A = this chain, B = another copy of it.
Amino acid sequence: MPGTLFIVTAPSGAGKTTLVRALLARDAQVQLSISYTTRDPRPGEQDGREYHFVDVDTFRTLRDRGEFLEWAEVHGNYYATSRVWLKEQIAAGRDTLLEIDWQGAQQVRKAFPDAVGVFILPPSFEELEVRLRGRGTDSDAVISRRLLGARGEMRHVGEFDYVIINNDLQPAIEDMVAVVRAARLRYANQHARHLHYFDFLEQD
């Protein structure tokens, strides 16, 4: 009874976090992917819920064993997406959503060819600039760098199965919900979930 892996990618400012949060509130069958990290848990964080908290030695061992799809060092802490953990979740039938950049998405796609890729776009590039400037806290140089980064991310939209243009929040949420619902109805998923029925239908 395999679940579906959803890869969700977006440039900063497209509204990904809001959309993903709304999806999780609407569809209790979807869980977020849980990363590994070497940073300390913050108050209220729980091992196996926000992150898999591990020490540096454990992290390196898992990494050197090839258990990670990708890893990165940010401000002196390690972060990683575990291929092994994801495989377990999918095999157990748990639909799992992974927020990741386009480079990470490429790695994930190699290991999970049946993953469903969703790219979230802002209504337009101009609107993205307005949104990024609207925060009002950043210098022009920072905003220019973010826009360049966003543009670089958006060039990879063609590598994704579905594109949601986040113009209005409510329709965009309906889009997310529909993509997830439809993915479960794909032949291979239905077959896996209703094995006896399909075997009976398709036998000679």
Which A residues have a C-beta under 8 Å from some C-beta of B? 119, 121, 124-125, 151, 154-155, 157-158, 160-165, 174-175, 177-179, 181-183, 185-187, 190-191, 194, 197-198, 200-202
Which B residues lie within 8 Å of A191 (CB)? 158, 163
Q: Are A185 and B181 in contact (CB under 8 A)?
A: no
Please state if B197 and A124 are interface contacts (CB–CB under 8 Å). yes
Task: State the majority secondary structure of interface residues on A.
Answer: helix
CA distance A164 to B158 in the complex (A): 28
Q: How far apart sit A58 and B177, CA to CA, in the bound complex (Å)? A: 46
Cross-chain contact of A162 among B154, B186, B194 (Cβ < 8 A):
B186
Query: Is the Cβ of A201 less than 8 Å from the Cβ of B154?
Result: yes
- Cβ-closest 4 pairs across A and B: A182-B182, A178-B181, A163-B190, A178-B178
Contact across chains for B175 and A163 when beta carbons are under 8 A apart? no
A125 and B163 within 8 A (CB): no
Query: Which of A124, A181, A194 is most buried by chain B, counting CB atoms within 10 A of its CB?
Result: A181
Chain B residues within an 8 Å CB radius of A179:
182, 185
Interface hub of A165, A175, A190 (most chain B Cβ within 10 A): A190
Task: Tell me the smallest distance from the CB of A190 to a CB of chain B, in Å.
Answer: 4
Contacts of A183 in B (CB 8 A): 182
- CA–CA, A35 to B167, complex, Å? 37
Distance between A117 CB and nearest chain B CB, rounded to angstroms: 9
Q: Is the CB of B201 within 8 A of A155?
A: yes
Is B190 touching A161 in the complex (CB atoms < 8 A)? no
- Whether the Cβ atoms of B186 and A175 lie closer than 8 Å is no
Are the C-beta atoms of B201 and A157 separated by less than 8 Å?
A: yes
7 contacts between A and B (CB under 8 A): A125-B197, A155-B202, A157-B187, A157-B202, A158-B191, A174-B181, A175-B182
